[in-house]
Structure 1
Amino acid sequence: MKDITFRKILAGIIIVIFIIIIFSSKSVLEPLILSIVLSYILHPIVKRLVKRGMNRSIASLSIVLGILALFALIIVYVIPGIIKELMGILNNFGAFESFIQRIMDSVGYEKLPQYLKEVVNTTIFKIQGNLSTYLNSLFESIFNFAMKLPTYFLAPIFIYYFLSDKDFFIKKIKFFIPLRFRKKSLELGGHINRVIQGYFLSQVILSIIVSVLTFIALLIIGVKFPLVIAIINGIANFIPYFGPVIGYIPALLFALTQSVNKSIMVTIAFLIIQQVEANIISPKIVSDCTGMHPVEVMIVLLIGGHFFGTIGMVLSVPIAATVKISYKYIVRNMY
């Protein structure tokens, strides 16, 4: 008994040291976290392939090769388009100034009282400054990601082992759970796993659908930079309720610099996409997966966004769902 306890303590110390080393090295930490998240999302696909008779290692390798092939296609066909559109945004930055000037002319800027002119000038200066800062930070983020790209080549290796050796990692986790709590802990963990995994997988599918619909709509309308806007809208849709608004703003701004008619068409297109998402797809995802009321979802989104920004809004719903499931499970087993 003492020997088992000593081995558990020793193993725990080794794991803590390993975690500290990992967290002290950002170059390893980022691809590791990405690999864990992707493995978590992709596991149901591996599970389905294994059920159909495929060897787990082969199924995991097939998934990794599929990801690499998709990544290669993105680099060859999508990234050049994104770079071209981003450069176009920089070159067309003057269009925003022309648009603002047209608005000023339409409201009779020269006839405004001096104090109102100062307010308008200050507002315009802030808008231009914010746009410039946003674009600079966007290009800086892209450059930093490109510089870190070699370290992300570790990700496929991590993903393969997380998927193929899932049972090994679960066995190691079980080792640290006391025997008397093990059954109930695994039962609770299984329930949380199904909910969160379903939520993230559904959100990924939803974001892809929204990106494709947005790209097609903007292409038909003739709005500039449809690919960049579609990607922004798809990523923003990871945030329930608030995501569509975040994705709509850049589309509206670019449409306004072209014509009022295009901005109206963009608004109608986004409303249709948002209605399809909000009334058909999203309620099933959030309610069925998390069991949370829409009001609860909005509250945790506001709290997550306030304390942790965009990441907080993305992760607040699954974290809140985990807490709620755990609380209900503990109360049900106590009384």
Structure 2
Amino acid sequence: MGQAWDKFKENTTVHRLVALCLIILVLYAARSMMNTILLTFIFTYLIVHLIRFTQKKIPRLPAQVIVVLAYLLVIALIYFAITIYVPILIKQIIKMSHSLIKFYQSDDMNWVSRYLSHYISNSEITTQAKHGVTILVHALTNFGTLTIAFFMSLIMSFFYTIELNSMTEFSHTFLQSRHLSWLFEDVAYFGSKFVNTFGVVLEAQFFIALCNTAMTIICLIIMRMPQIIALGLMVFILSLIPVAGVIISLIPLSLVAYSVGGLRYVIYIFIVIMIIHAIEAYILNPKFMASKTELPIFYTFVVLLVGEHFLGTWGLIVGVPIFTFLLDILGVKSVKKKKPQILKIEDKK
């Protein structure tokens, strides 16, 4: 028995596979906390990245000062968003809804109105009302859950980053375990790989989303489209979804464009989205994703479909980084290391 255990610990491939399976099982058991886990990781990664970047410019500035200033800025932004931006956003969404309702009630959409009237008149109104209330309650519950997860993630990431050095030292003590050092080394190895892969891919997609949003907003302002803030926020969120986000955003943009300027504006929107998609595909992706990950479009869509099936909305955002991480640990396609790691475990020979 002892010899088999020693052989198991000496076989790096086998015990890393066991460690990976254990990590997957733990994450599956904690799937109800996935919002908090992913948001905490994202916030922590961004703040650690900010600390590294700031200390390169100002070496003597303590990390705790950077963390406190960063979170004070986040709190200020949240306050201004709630008091100023959210009311404007709600008003613009209401105006957009009225525009769409007016569009569907126009002469060009009479056939849709007749079909809906026929459908409603022949359906069980009580059942439809109950179904609508259920959807509304479910949406409000999800929003409340996500809000709690957001603030919990901010608090947890704050305590992690404010004690970054002590957290790193304490985490290293697990590697000195007498019986399970191999397990903690494997967890640290996968953690280092995941931070590197997830970080560079998510960072690249974030910058691409910012560029897409800026270009789209400029075009919408030139076209004198209404509700620029609401449309810009929608475009930014959808742009975080690789490849498919640009295509998905075309649908609501086309509806709003038709309600404003008819078919001519829809054609303009198609041209604008095609140009932005071309810039993303041939300029932004090669610039931000070079030497990191360049998946074919077919694989990207498959990963998005599978990610959405298992992780829901989060799967559309983190599906590609997770798939790239798997390619990295399988040795199929590695990701160029760019950021310093909190806990670094080198690959065993």
- TM-score, normalised via structure 1 length: 0.71
- 8 Å contact from structure 2 (residues 304, 319) kept in 1: yes
C-alpha change, 1:148 and 1:45, in structure 2 (3 Å) is closer
Would you say 1:40 and 2:42 are equivalent positions? no
Distance in 1 between the 2:202 and 2:181 partners? 31
Deviation at 1:255, TM superposition (A): 0.8
Q: Which position in structure 1 is the counterpart of 2:342?
A: none
Would you say 1:49 and 2:43 are equivalent positions? no
Match of 1:73 among 63, 66, 80: 80
Distance in 2 between the 1:158 and 1:60 partners? 13
- 8 Å contact from structure 2 (residues 99, 256) kept in 1: no
- 8 Å contact from structure 2 (residues 220, 228) kept in 1: yes
Distance in 2 between the 1:145 and 1:79 partners? 15
Deviation at 1:261, TM superposition (A): 1.8
Q: Which position in structure 1 is the counterpart of 2:19?
A: none
Would you say 1:300 and 2:303 are equivalent positions? yes
Deviation at 1:281, TM superposition (A): 1.2
Deviations 1:249-279 (A, max 9, x none): 1000111122222222222222222222222
Higher relative contact order (CA 8 A, sep 6+): 2
SS at match of 2:79: helix
Deviations 1:133-180 (A, max 9, x none): 99x968984796479757855554323222222343344444445445
Match of 1:216 among 215, 218, 226: 218
Q: Which position in structure 1 is the counterpart of 2:229?
A: 227
Q: Which position in structure 2 is the counterpart of 1:313?
A: 316
Amino acid at match of 1:70: L
- 8 Å contact from structure 1 (residues 300, 317) kept in 2: yes
Describe how 1:176-325 pairs up with structure 2 within 5 A. 176-177=174-175, 178-179=180-181, 186=188, 189-258=191-260, 259-286=262-289, 288-290=291-293, 292-325=295-328
Q: Which position in structure 1 is the counterpart of 2:161?
A: 163
SS at match of 1:204: helix
Match of 1:102 among 105, 108, 111: 108
Which ranges in structure 1 are unaligned for 5 or more consecutive residues? Answer: 1-18, 110-116, 127-132
Deviations 1:288-309 (A, max 9, x none): 3336444433332232234444
Distance in 2 between the 1:24 and 1:263 partners? 41
Q: Which position in structure 1 is the counterpart of 2:126?
A: none
Q: Taking every aligned residue pair, what percent have the same amino acid on both sides?
A: 19
- 8 Å contact from structure 2 (residues 209, 240) kept in 1: yes
Which ranges in structure 2 are unaligned for 5 or more consecutive residues? Answer: 1-25, 121-130, 333-346
Distance in 2 between the 1:215 and 1:307 partners? 33
Describe how 1:135-146 pairs up with structure 2 within 5 A. 141=139, 145=143
C-alpha change, 1:121 and 1:180, in structure 2 (3 Å) is closer
- 8 Å contact from structure 2 (residues 47, 67) kept in 1: no
- 8 Å contact from structure 2 (residues 208, 288) kept in 1: no
Deviation at 1:82, TM superposition (A): 0.6
- 8 Å contact from structure 2 (residues 234, 249) kept in 1: yes
Q: State the aligned residue count.
A: 292
Distance in 2 between the 1:31 and 1:181 partners? 25
Would you say 1:84 and 2:91 are equivalent positions? yes
SS at match of 2:73: helix
Distance in 2 between the 1:261 and 1:50 partners? 52
Amino acid at match of 1:46: I
- 8 Å contact from structure 1 (residues 218, 226) kept in 2: yes
Q: CA RMSD in A?
A: 4.0
Amino acid at match of 2:108: R
- 8 Å contact from structure 1 (residues 85, 228) kept in 2: yes
